[in-house]
Structure 1
Amino acid sequence: MKYIYLGAFPPPYGGVTIKNKLLFNKLFDYIEVEQSKFYDKNNNLLLRIISLFTTIIKKKHGLIIGISKNSLKKLTFVLFFMNKKIMNNSIVLVMGGTFPQMVIKDKRLQRLLQEYKRIYVETDGMQKALSSVGVNNVSVFPNCRERADINAEMQKDNQQLRCLFFSLISEDKGADNIFAAAAILNQKDIDYSIDFYGHIAPKYIQKFESSITRNVNLHYCGVFKSTKKNELYNKLQQYDLLLFPTKWKNEGVPGVLVESKIAGIPAIVSDINFNSEIIKDEKTGLVLKKNTPEELAYAIERVYFNRDWLIELKHNAKDSSEEYLIENYIEDIIRLLKE
Structure 2
Amino acid sequence: MGSTKKIGLIGRLDPECELFDGQTVKTRMMYRLLCELYGEENVVVVETKDYRHNAPRVVAQTVRCLLTCRDVFVSLSRNGRKAFFPLLSFAARHLHTRVYHNLIGGWLAQDLEECPQQVSYLNDFRVNWVESHQLVGKLEELGVGNAEFLPNFKYLDGTEVPESRYYGPGYRFCTFSRVQELKGIGDAMDTVEKLCSEGLDCCLDVYGPIDPSYKEEFETALSRCVHAEYKGCVAPEKSVQAIASYDALLFPTKWKPEGIPGTIIDALAAGVPVIAAKWQYYDEMLEDGVTGFGYGFGNNELLADEIKKFIELGNGANELRKGCLARAVAYSPEAVSDVVAAAVDGERLRD
The runs of 5 or more residues in structure 2 that have no matched partner are: 347-351
1:285 Cα deviation after fit: 1.9
The answer for the alignment partner of 1:259 in structure 2 is: 266
Deviations 1:243-275 (A, max 9, x none): 111112332221111111100111112222323
| Aligned positions of 1:143-162 closer than 5 A | 143-146=152-155, 148-162=158-172
CA distance in 2, matches of 1:337, 1:176: 44
The answer for the alignment partner of 1:122 in structure 2 is: 131
Deviations 1:132-185 (A, max 9, x none): 223231222222013634132421243222111112222111022123323431
Q: 1:240 to 1:137 in 2, by over 3 A?
A: same
1:21 Cα deviation after fit: 2.1
- Contact 1:96–1:251 (8 Å) recurs in 2: yes
Query: What is the DSSP-based 3-state SS (H/G/I as helix, E as strand, rest coil) of the residue aligned with 1:172?
Result: helix
Matched, 1:175 2:185: yes
Q: 1:240 to 1:72 in 2, by over 3 A?
A: same
1:94 Cα deviation after fit: 0.3
The answer for the alignment partner of 1:332 in structure 2 is: 339
The answer for the alignment partner of 1:221 in structure 2 is: 231
CA distance in 1, matches of 2:71, 2:222: 50
1:173 corresponds to which letter in structure 2?
A: K
TM-score, length basis structure 2: 0.85
The answer for the alignment partner of 1:12 in structure 2 is: 18
CA distance in 2, matches of 1:22, 1:254: 14
- Contact 2:164–2:321 (8 Å) recurs in 1: yes
2:175 corresponds to which letter in structure 1?
A: F
CA distance in 1, matches of 2:297, 2:135: 22
The runs of 5 or more residues in structure 1 that have no matched partner are: none
1:325 Cα deviation after fit: 0.6
Structure 1 window deviating more from structure 2 (121-130 vs 273-282): it is 273-282
Query: What is the DSSP-based 3-state SS (H/G/I as helix, E as strand, rest coil) of the residue aligned with 1:114?
Result: helix
TM-score, length basis structure 1: 0.88
One of 73, 80, 83 as aligned partner of 1:64: 73
CA distance in 2, matches of 1:87, 1:67: 21
- Contact 2:189–2:204 (8 Å) recurs in 1: no
Q: 1:5 to 1:127 in 2, by over 3 A?
A: same
Deviations 1:274-313 (A, max 9, x none): 2332222232122220443430011111111112442211
The answer for the alignment partner of 2:294 in structure 1 is: 287
Deviations 1:115-139 (A, max 9, x none): 2111111111111111222323122
The answer for the alignment partner of 1:275 in structure 2 is: 282
Question: CA RMSD of the aligned region, Å?
Answer: 2.7
**Structure with more of its chain in helix, by fraction:** 2
- Contact 1:242–1:265 (8 Å) recurs in 2: yes
- Percent identity reads 22
Q: 1:106 to 1:223 in 2, by over 3 A?
A: closer
| Aligned positions of 1:3-82 closer than 5 A | 3-10=7-14, 11-13=17-19, 14-31=21-38, 33-39=42-48, 45-56=55-66, 58=67, 61-81=70-90
The answer for the alignment partner of 2:105 in structure 1 is: 96
1:78 Cα deviation after fit: 2.5
Q: How many residues in Structure 1 have an aligned counterpart in Structure 2?
A: 335
Deviations 1:76-108 (A, max 9, x none): 223334551456622110001111211244433
- Contact 1:190–1:304 (8 Å) recurs in 2: no
Q: 1:108 to 1:221 in 2, by over 3 A?
A: closer
